[in-house]
Amino acid sequence: MKPFILIAALLCFFAGKAQINNFCIGPKVGYSSNTLNVNVDSITSTASGNFNFGVFARFGGKTYIQPEVNYLMKSGKLKSEFNNIVTNEEIKAKGIEIPVLIGRKIIDRSILDLRVVAGPSVTFLIKDSKQVKISDLNSSWPITSTDDLKDALWSLNFGAGIDVWFVTFDVHYQLGLTNIYNGSAPDTKFKSNCWNISLGIKLL
Helix (H) or strand (E) holding 45: strand 43-46
- What does each of the 204 residues of the chain score in pLDDT, given as a tens digit? 455 455 555 555 555 554 556 899 999 999 999 999 999 888 899 999 999 999 999 999 999 999 999 999 999 999 988 777 889 999 999 999 999 999 999 999 989 999 999 999 999 999 999 999 998 877 778 898 999 999 999 999 999 999 999 999 999 999 999 999 998 887 899 999 999 999 999 997
Phi, psi of 8 (to 5 degrees): -65, -40
- The closest alpha carbon to 161, from 100, 99, 97, 107, belongs to 107
How many other C-beta atoms can be found within 10 angstroms of the C-beta atom of residue 112?
11
Closest CA to 36 of 192, 185, 163: 192
